[in-house]
């Protein structure tokens, strides 16, 4: 008999990941906050600034999709995602989508820690199954909660991409500030 937690590790990881998107990802100096959804949408635009933590998200997606058929690849992708996410503990500055100015990070928010916990939970569960299962058919497949959570996740990201409060113009953040006209 399989213990309950390893059987539902995928559902639990997806639930934590979905929950993290509704929380604050970072608290900035001056009282501003950056929502986790905004951090997810900004992710690819952070590469020019040396912030590669966003790549944990596609690695996690790969790990989730490969969790049964390619269980060792899924474990490797999950651990790489966890490593990238933990490197986020060193983030010092983030831009906002209002002034496009960089602000110092005062503290990471609950969303960040739920994200790391989701990646850790997946990696631990996948590692358990890599250790226990002799064949891919022994690893739990997709269950209806997994599919419902994936649909909710896709709907959340799709809705967030259209929200004006989370929009930003990549050109404004990549361009140097305009010079002041002091006489």
pLDDT in tens, 82-112: 999 999 898 888 876 666 677 889 999 999 9
Per-residue burial over 91-124, b if 16 or more Cβ lie within 10 Å, else e, is beebbbbeebeebebeebbebbebbbbbbbbbbb
pLDDT in tens, 32-85: 888 888 888 877 777 777 778 888 999 999 999 888 788 889 999 999 999 999
pLDDT in tens, 122-155: 999 898 878 877 766 666 677 777 788 888 888 8
CA 15 – CA 38 distance, rounded (Å) = 19
Q: How many other C-beta atoms are found inside a 10 Å radius of the C-beta of residue 45?
A: 16
pLDDT in tens, 22-38: 999 999 888 888 888 88
pLDDT band for position 1 (cuts 50, 70, 90): very low
């Amino acid at each position: 008999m399989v213990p309950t937690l390893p059987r539902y590790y995928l559902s639990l990881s997806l639930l934590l990941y979905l929950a993290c998107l509704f929380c604050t990802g970072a608290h900035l100096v001056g009282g501003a906050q950056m929502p986790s959804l905004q951090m997810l949408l900004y992710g690819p635009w952070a590469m020019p600034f040396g912030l590669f933590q966003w790549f944990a998200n596609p690695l996690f997606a790969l790990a989730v999709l490969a969790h049964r058929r390619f269980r060792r690849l899924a474990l490797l992708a999950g651990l790489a995602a966890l490593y990238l996410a933990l490197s986020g503990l060193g983030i010092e500055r983030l831009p906002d989508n209002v002034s496009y100015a960089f602000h110092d990070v005062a503290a990471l928010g609950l969303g960040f820690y739920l994200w790391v916990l989701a990646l850790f939970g997946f990696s631990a569960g996948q590692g358990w199954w890599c250790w226990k299962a002799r064949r891919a058919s022994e690893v739990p497949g997709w269950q209806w909660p997994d599919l419902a959570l994936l649909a909710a996740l896709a709907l959340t990201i799709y809705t967030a991409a259209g929200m004006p409060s989370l929009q930003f113009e990549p050109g404004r953040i990549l361009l140097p500030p305009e010079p002041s006209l002091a006489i």
